[in-house]
Amino acid sequence: MTERRWLAVMFAAILALAGMTGCTAPNPVDMDRAITLTLVRHGQSEGNLSGRMDTSVPGPPLTDLGSEQAVMIANRLSDNRYDGIFASTMIRTQQTAEPMAHRCGEMVTAVEGLQEIEAGVFEGQPEAYAVKTYYGDIVDWTIGNRDLRIPGSIDGNEFDDRFDRAIDEIYATGVLRPIVYSHGAAIAAWATMNAENSRPDLMKTAPLPNTGYVVLDGKPGDWKLVDWNGTQVP
């Protein structure tokens, strides 16, 4: 981890500890520990059902099917005993996280920076069209073209920086097995851009469906991809 990145993570840890209350001092957070990070895409939203791009915040809620999917993924993954439940600032991720939070006895914590990648000029366009435009630009980020900007939106560096900050904030809370509810393009792009054993081909051959997930082991600046929606990654 670079010195700049380490300082950023330490600062996040200080802020996290400063926000704690109680009469006893909190245990110090090990800022060199390895964790297992699970990233889950939200269930089907009203935006998905419409067939059009909707990256607005807070965005549309889940459909009835999306709510069922949220329960199903909670049932499937809850044996992993997550010690922190986090979600983006968008309604659909927080709703998807609720069944897992209930099963684990945890609260859902919304974290800025986990939101979907803004569609820019493609907002409201058919999702089928966006595969070759919006999503195509994001795939380019993962193969080194991070300066490429989605028209009317952000570039790969800006996206990676903000998602990094969100993960740093989560790491600084001291969790060992966090589950983080985010968005399909954001999860796939960040995991591919940051894992030492990244597989950019998976973004095209195995795009994450609603409630699809990715698992990484490691710590900020040192991640290894281990599972892409049920497929083990060597």
Mapping DSSP to helix (H, G, I), strand (E, B) and coil, where does residue 114 land? coil
- Pairing state between β 35-41 and 178-182: parallel
Answer for the pair 114, 138: CB distance below 8 angstroms, yes or no: no
42 is an active site residue: yes
| Active-site residue, selected from the candidate residues 98, 106, 116, 169 | 116
Q: How far is CA 161 from CA 9, 101, 137, 154, in A?
A: 12, 27, 17, 11
68 is an active site residue: no
| Active-site residue, selected from the candidate residues 42, 98, 106, 169 | 42
Residue with tokens 């983006």: 88
Answer for the pair 104, 78: CB distance below 8 angstroms, yes or no: yes
Which of 53, 16, 224, 42 has the alpha carbon at shortest distance from 115? 42
Q: Catalytic residue numbers?
A: 42, 116
